[in-house]
Amino acid sequence: MSTPPRVRFAPSPTGFLHVGGARTALFNWLYARQTGGTLVLRIEDTDRERSSEAHTQVILDGLTWLGLDWDEGPLFQGAHADRHREDALRLLAAGKAYKDFMTAEELTAAREEAKAEGRPFRYHRAEVGLPPEETARREAAGMPHAVRFAMPDEELAWDDAVHGRISWQGRDLDDFIILRSDGTAIYNLAVVSDDVAMRISHVIRGDDHVSNTPKQIALYRALGHPVPTFAHVPMILGSDGKKLSKRHGATAVGDYREEGILPAAMRNFLALLGWSPGNDDEVLPLDEVIARFDLGGIMTKPAVFDTTKLEWMNGQYLSMLPAEELLAPVERELARLGIDPAGRDLLPVIEAVKARSRTITVVAEQVAARLPGATLPRDDKAHKLIDKLGDRFAINLGLAREALTAVVESAWQPAHLETVIKAVAEEGGLKLGDVMQPIRVALTGGTVSEPVHELLAVIGRDESLRRITAA
RNA sequence: GGCGCUAUCGUCUAGAGGCCUAGGACACAGCCCUCUCAAGGCUGGAACACGGGUUCGAAUCCCGUUAGCGCUACCA
C-alpha cells in the first residue's frame, strides 16, 4: 500500500464557480474520498487585477453547496510569492533560466513583425532576444528584466491518467517567462512551486491545461522534483458545441441553485458528464459514485452540458427524496417569492407536489398555490375546459360543492373525499372527469395537479370550499 | 500558421477484435395506466466522420484526410 494521494483543486477567483470548475473539483474530491487521500483547496489569486475576495467566497460557497469539502486550505497562492521567487532565482543561479531585458513593447513589435512575415513566433534564446552586448549594457544600467526559463531540447512526455501517453518536444516550446520584471512569478512556475510544496501526487485539472503540462514537467525536472501523475479532464461545451459561456445561459453553479436544482442532483449529473461507471446506471447514490469512481473512466472528449437532462435528474431526486429533506430549500424559495407559510405544516404539501415537479422552484410555486390566500390565475387549458363544458362547469361544480359541504372536518380525508366525488358523478350520470376537472380548476386555476381528492385534503376543507364557491 | 488533444444516435454514454442486424439514458412520437399531469410500463424513429490498411474477422488496432476544440501573454 503506497502513501495516500494528495490532490488539489485550484480555482482562480476571477469569476463565479463555473460548472466546469465544479466538475473538476468533484472529480478531485471523488478521487480523494475513494482513495483516502487528501484534497487541498488552493486559491490562485496571483492575478491581482482580476481576483477578488468576493469571488473567493462565492467559489467556497459553491463547493459547500455541492457538498464538497476539503482537507487543507483554502491556501492562497499569493501568500507564497517569496517561495515562487526563490525557486525562480534558484533556476537562474543554476543556469537553467536567464535574464531577459527586452521590454514588453519590443516583444510585441517582434511578434507583430513575425506575424507580418507569416512566420511563427517562438521565443527562444538562440533565435530571439537582444544581442549579448545590449543585454550587458542594460544589465549594467540596472534596467528591469524578466526571467525566462531555458527550455531544454528534450522530449517532455507523460502518461496521462485519462488520455494515455502525451508527448511534446521541448524545441517546440518557448523559453517562457517565469518571473515578471516586477519580480513576481508567472502561473506555470507558481503552480509547480506550490504543487511541490504541497506534495501533490495527482494533478486532476481541465484539458485546457495539457499545453501547460510539458512546461511544468520541464520545471519539475529543472527544480529536481519528481513529476506527479496528471489527469486531464475534458471541457464542458454549450449546446452549440462551443465552449460553455454566458451565451448559453446559466454556467455558474450558483445559477442552478437559484433555478431550484438540488445539490445531490447536480453532483450526480456532473459526475456522469465526462465520466462513466462503465454500465447503464444513471441515478447513482453518492457513496456508490465514490466507490466506483476511477480516473480511467473519464472521457477523452468534451461533453455538451444538457440542461434538460439535468432537470430530469433533478426530478428523479425530487421524487425519491423525502419531503423533510426538501423543506429547507422550499422554505428558502418561498421566502424569495415573498410568501409566508404562517406556521402551516408544509411537509404534506411538498409531498403532494414534488413528484410532479422538476425543480425546487416549481415545488415552491405549487406549494404556494395550495396555501390559503393564494392568487390563482387561470391558465389557457383551464379556459378551454370551461369553454368546453359551458354551463356544465358551474352546474357540476355546484353539485360537488353541495356534496363536499356535507363532509365534516374530521371526515375530510383523501379516501372519503374520493368516494364522495365518485358518488356525485354516479348520481348525476356524469363522467368522473367532468366533475373532477372543474374542482381542480377551482382549486388551482389549472388543469394539472395531484389526484383531486388528495388536492382537496392538502388544501383543507375551509379553503377548498372557499375556492370552489369563489369559482 | 505551429504544437497538442478529440471523433458511436440531436445530447450524455456502453463497447477495450468475433457476444454488435451497436446496448442504455435524456429528448421526441405512439400506446398502456388514469379524473388531469407527472411517475411507471411497452413500442418506434435515431449513431460507429471519411478513406486506406492489419486480420479469417474491426466501432474496437495502425496510417492518412476532414472537422471540432485547446494552447501559442511579463493571464490563470
Protein contacts on strand B: list nucleotides below 7 Å from a Cβ. Answer: 1-8, 10-15, 23-27, 35-40, 68-76
Spell out the alpha helix ranges (H) of A259-339: 263-272, 286-292, 307-320, 323-336
| Protein-to-nucleotide distance from the CA of A279 to the C1' of B16, whole angstroms | 14
Q: Is A422 a catalytic residue?
A: no
> Which is the catalytic residue, given A246, A301, A309, A388?
A246
The answer to whether residues A90 and A223 touch, using CB atoms and an 8 Å cutoff, is: yes
Nucleotide nearest to A146 (CA to C1'): B74
Place of cell 513583425: A113
Nucleotide nearest to A145 (CA to C1'): B74
Which residue has its C-alpha nearest to nucleotide B24's C1'? A280
How far CA A186 is from CA of A49, A111, A438, in Å, comes to: 14, 20, 69
Helix (H) or strand (E) holding A369: helix A360-369
| Protein-to-nucleotide distance from the CA of A233 to the C1' of B15, whole angstroms | 21
Cell of A33: 474520498
Q: A54 by DSSP, 3-state: which? A: helix
| A171 alpha-carbon distance from chain centroid | 38
Q: How many CB atoms lie within 10 A of CB A244?
A: 22
State the pLDDT at residue A188: 95
ipTM: 0.94
Which residue has its C-alpha nearest to nucleotide B27's C1'? A308
Burial status of residue A127 (CB atoms within 10 A of its CB: 0-12, 13-18, 19 or more): exposed
| Protein-to-nucleotide distance from the CA of A303 to the C1' of B8, whole angstroms | 14
| Protein-to-nucleotide distance from the CA of A306 to the C1' of B9, whole angstroms | 15
Per-residue pLDDT of chain A (471 residues; tens, 9 = 90+): 578 999 999 999 988 899 999 999 999 999 999 999 999 999 998 877 778 888 999 999 999 999 999 999 799 999 999 999 999 999 999 999 999 988 888 888 888 887 777 777 788 876 777 788 888 888 888 889 999 999 999 999 999 999 999 999 998 899 999 999 999 999 999 999 999 999 999 999 999 999 999 999 999 999 999 999 999 999 999 888 788 777 777 789 999 999 999 999 999 999 999 999 988 999 999 999 999 999 999 999 999 999 999 999 999 999 999 999 999 999 999 999 888 888 889 999 999 999 999 999 999 999 999 998 888 888 888 888 888 888 889 999 999 999 999 999 999 999 999 999 999 998 888 889 899 999 999 999 999 999 999 999 999 999 999 999 987
State the pLDDT at residue A86: 96
| Protein-to-nucleotide distance from the CA of A305 to the C1' of B12, whole angstroms | 8
Place of cell 438540488: A262
Which residue has its C-alpha nearest to nucleotide B4's C1'? A211
Residues making up chain A, counted from first to last:
471
